[in-house]
Amino acid sequence: MKIEIPNFLSYMAFLDAKAFVPGIKDLIHGNPEQDIMPVTAKIEKGRVAVSSLKSYKDARKAGNTAAADSSLALFTANYPWFGYGFLQNEHEAIPPIQLTFYAFRIMVGLGFLFVLLFAITLYLVLKNKTENKRWFYLSAIFMIPLAYLASQMGWIVAEVGRQPWVIQDLMPTSAAVSQITTSSVKLTFFLFAITFTILLIAEIRIMVKQIHKGPRKEETHHV
């Protein structure tokens, strides 16, 4: 089952219900009617930009002003597709569609679920009917891990969906490799994992302790 809202994506993207929103096939194989260049052509122009930048640096180092100016002009003309020069083929420009597709829908679905819970909570609070609603409290507790799940799904959409780009059209992730060693990344990961595990254990112990104590009884004074 699917719910469709005609032209809604066009309006979200361009504030125009009749605007054309390109799909994967348009972006990869091009669409002459919409003036969209195929990725293969962008890769060729990107490689020209990469090679001309190297030629420009070499010419500057050698003191050859004329060659440097010629290379700079060639680089400037092909600069908008610079990042494509690092791609090996057109398929590298396609992000992992299936993972992004389902992560986005899980995130949005959980978002609507949270809104529903908030609406129910507001109704029960205004009507003063929260007492003895065991199903309501269990639902609220069950929503806690779902909030973290929705957050992670959002990160997947952001990080996986932008592949292969760090900077759109200018720097792919393959060219943005840092000099940090694998051991440093592992060490940082385990330090964070240990730290947050300790904090989680401490938080759970505090919560359990307070639950066992129960609500504080108000002292009554008789005059």
SS3 146: helix
Q: In this structure, what DSSP letter does residue 31 have?
A: B
Which structural domain range is residue 49 located in? Answer: 25-92
Q: Is 79 exposed, middle or buried (0-12, 13-18, 19+ CB in 10 A)?
A: middle
Domain assignment present for 13: no
Domain assignment present for 41: yes
Domain assignment present for 16: no
Domain assignment present for 42: yes
Say if residue 53 is in the same domain as residue 75: yes
Evaluate whether 39 touches 28 at the Cβ level (below 8 Å).
yes
Domain assignment present for 139: yes
Q: What's the confidence (pLDDT) of residue 131?
A: 81
Domain assignment present for 186: no
Give the DSSP per-residue string, 49-66. HHHHHHHHHHHHHHT-HH
SS3 176: coil
* Overall domain count for the chain: 2
Say if residue 60 is in the same domain as residue 42: yes
Last residue of a domain, one of 74, 92, 110: 92
Say if residue 79 is in the same domain as residue 112: no
Domain assignment present for 176: no
Last residue of a domain, one of 161, 190, 210: 161
Over its length of 223 residues, how does the chain's per-residue pLDDT go in tens digits?
677 888 888 998 899 999 999 999 999 999 999 999 999 999 999 999 999 999 999 999 999 999 999 999 999 999 999 999 999 999 999 999 999 999 999 999 999 999 999 999 999 999 888 888 889 989 999 999 999 999 999 999 999 999 999 999 999 998 888 788 889 989 999 999 999 999 999 999 999 998 888 777 665 555 4
Say if residue 100 is in the same domain as residue 154: yes
Last residue of a domain, one of 73, 92, 111: 92
Q: What's the confidence (pLDDT) of residue 221?
A: 53
Q: What's the confidence (pLDDT) of residue 1?
A: 65
Q: Which residues are CB-neighbours of 8 under 8 A, at least 6 positions away? A: none
Residue burial 96-120, b: 16+ Cβ < 10 Å; e: rest: eeeebeebbebbeebeeeeeebeee
Q: Is 209 exposed, middle or buried (0-12, 13-18, 19+ CB in 10 A)?
A: exposed
Domain assignment present for 189: no
Distance CA 44, CA 54 (A): 16
φ and ψ of 172, to 5 deg: -80, 160
